[in-house]
Structure 1
Amino acid sequence: MALTPQQQTLLNDYRAAYGRLSTGGQVTEITSNGRTVKYAKGDIARLERDIAELEALAARPSDLPIRRRGALSIRL
């Protein structure tokens, strides 16, 4: 599944923040959709999780249908 442009930008920002933190940066700030998140050295596991989540979304094939449950009906 292809990421939306906003998700791709966010993934790029996450990767850049990870690079800055892993090379000794103190605090990295990311703003998306009016929401600001600050990552510090101690948040590197959280940042890794956020990156993995978006990468997994991008790797999912887009031709797979999304399973949705319909309304339940009972027949007697």
Structure 2
Amino acid sequence: MAFPLRHPAVAGVVAGMRSAEEVRRNLAAFARQVPEGLWSDLAAAGLLDERASQPAPPEPSPLSRHRRSSLTSFRRRVR
């Protein structure tokens, strides 16, 4: 889920889930930080197009703050 969110044009990612357990696993995966060097390592190994390994925007946009707020709210309801 972290890869598409690196691009400034992407506002969100929709992951299909069939159970509360899948929701919990996806929330946990979404909360994990991906080391910034991973993307350049993948590109260097030929596993990721160089054009796709751009860094994430330095400042969170208002939309990404909204996304985090919505995620926090959703977590409360799932538990």
Regarding TM over 0.5, the answer is no
Name the structure where helix makes up a greater proportion of residues.
2
Name the structure where strand makes up a greater proportion of residues.
1
TM-score when normalising by structure 1? 0.34
TM-score when normalising by structure 2? 0.33
Q: Quick check: which has more Rg, 1 or 2? A: 1
